[in-house]
Amino acid sequence: MSTIPLSNPAPHPRRERFTRLGRRAVLRLGGGLLVLWAVATLTFFALRLMPGDPVLAILGGASGNPTPETIAEATREYGLDKPIGVQYLVYLGHLVQGDLGVSYSQHQPVTQVLAEQSGPTLQLTLASLALAWLLVLALTVLTAGRQQWLGRLASLAETLAAALPNFWLGILLLAVFAFGLRLFPPAGSDGWRTLILPSLALAIPLAGFIGQVTRESLELTLDQPFILTARTRGLSDVAVRFKHALRHAVLPGLSLSGWAIGALISGAVVIEVIFSRKGLGRQLYQAVQAQDLPLTIGISLVVAAGYVVANLLVDLLYHWIDPRLEPAA
C-alpha cells in the first residue's frame, strides 16, 4: 500500500516576515561595524595630523612647564614614541576589547565620561525629535490639501524653518525667552524647563525638513481612491488624515528620522555650548580643543553607534509599516 507523502506546512506569514527582518538587521549591523571602524580610523589619523603635541595635552598644556624628562616619560608611557602605524594597531586592539582608554584632559576612564554625559545628550536628542514630529503633525498634516492659500502659507513656514541655522535660532531663543522675557533659565541641565529652548532650537529646523517631504507625500496620498472610500464611510476629515492617509504619507519623513538622529547630535555640539548644558556635544568640543585623543574617539564612536542603531531601527520600522518593500518569499 503506497503512502502519500505529506507536504510541508506553509510557513507562517508573520514568522517569515520576522525572519526576513532579522536577516536584514544582521546585514545592517555588519555594515554598522564597518562604519564604526571607519570613524575610529579617520578620527585617529585626523587628530594625529593636527598641529600641536599630544604629550603636552596629557601633561596639562604648555602652561604646566613640563621638564624634558617628564615629556619623555609620558611619551613612552602612552606609546607615543612608537611609529604611528603601531600606535593605530595598538589602539584598535584596545577598542576591540572595549577599552577606550583614559581621557588626557580629565584623567579618568573615557567610559566613565561617556556614562556621565550620554544621558543629557540622549534626553535632548529624543526631546527634539519628538517635538519636531509634533510640529510636523500639527502644521503639515492638518493643512495639507486644504485651501490653496493655507497650504502655501504653511509650506512657506516649513521652508523658512528648514533654512534657520541651529546656532542662530538658539541665540535668538536665548535672547528673547531667557534674557528678555525671563520665562526659561538661560543655562543648565537640571529640570524640564532647561530642556525647552535647546529642544526648540534643534526641533524647528528639523521639522521644516521633515514637513516639506511629508506634505508632498500627504497631498499625493489624499488623492488616492482608498481615501475617497474612507470619506464615503462617514469618517471625519481628521480621522481620514490620521488613520488612513498618515500611515502612507509618513514613510518618507520616517526615513529622514534616521538621518535626523545624526543631525541632532551634530547640532547638539553647538547647542550644548550655547546653553551651557552637560552632554557629549560640549565634551567633544572641549576634547578636540585639548587634543584629547581617547575622549574624542570615544565620543565619536558613541555618536556613530547611535546613528547606526537609529538608522537600523528606522529601516526595520519602515519595512514593517510597508511590507511591499520586502522581497517575495
> What is the reported pTM?
0.73
* Residues 142, 57 within the same domain: no
Q: What pLDDT is recorded for position 169?
A: 93
Rounded distance, CA 307 to CA 319, Å?
Answer: 18
Structural domain count of the chain: 2
* Residues 266, 241 within the same domain: yes
In a domain, 314, yes or no: yes
Asked which of 102, 120, 143 is the last residue of a domain, the reply is 102
Residue 16 cell numbers, joined: 517569515
Q: What pLDDT is recorded for position 327?
A: 47
Domain containing residue 45:
23-102
Q: How many CA atoms lie less than 13 Å away from 5 in the CB half-sphere?
A: 2
Q: What pLDDT is recorded for position 88?
A: 87
* Residues 85, 145 within the same domain: no
Reduced to 3 states, what is the DSSP secondary structure of residue 159? helix
In a domain, 11, yes or no: no
Asked which of 53, 68, 102 is the last residue of a domain, the reply is 102
* Residues 96, 132 within the same domain: no
- Chunked into runs of 10 residues, the chain (329 residues) has average pLDDT values of 50 65 75 84 80 71 71 78 85 84 84 88 90 86 75 85 90 91 86 90 90 81 77 77 74 73 79 88 84 84 81 73 51
Q: What pLDDT is recorded for position 3?
A: 53
Rounded distance, CA 159 to CA 153, Å?
Answer: 10
Sign of CA dihedral 7, 12, 13, 18: negative
End-to-end CA distance of the chain: 36
